[in-house]
Amino acid sequence: DQQVKQNSPSLSVQEGRISILNCDYTNSMFDYFLWYKKYPAEGPTFLISISSIKDKNEDGRFTVFLNKSAKHLSLHIVPSQPGDSAVYFCAASARSNFGNEKLTFGTGTRLTIIP
């Protein structure tokens, strides 16, 4: 049962244009959402997050949008740069019994920025 889904395994975008990565979730208990970026042979690195009480969070070129009613979030990167080429993972969180964030990850979208 895949609770967090990234239906596009890959995406190619021209440099300078907007990249939009999508993520859907099914568990209404998720109340915190994160995007991670992963380069080959490296661990995922945190990019941006959003709480379920918000519908938008912006950090420089990166903006995450959350539509709770549709259980959908998206990551916008604008303008896209060659260094943005990586695999992007969407993750959703609900508090565990221990109080820590328990992350559920999507399968990732490989973004390729074309110079």
Partner 1 sequence: SAVISQKPSRDICQRGTSLTIQCQVDSQVTMMFWYRQQPGQSLTLIATANQGSEATYESGFVIDKFPISRPNLTFSTLTVSNMSPEDSSIYLCSVEKGAGRGYEQYFGPGTRLTVT
Q: Which residues bind partner 1 (CB under 8 A)?
A: 2, 4, 32, 34, 36, 41-46, 49, 51, 89, 96, 98, 100-108
Q: Which of 36, 45, 51, 47 is nearest to 89 (CA)?
A: 36
- When the beta carbons of 15 and 59 are compared against partner 1, the nearer one is 59
User: Nearest distance from residue 81's CB to partner 1, in Å?
Assistant: 22
**Pick 17 or 54: Cβ nearer partner 1:** 54
Is it true that the peptide bond before 82 is cis, omega within 30 degrees of 0? no
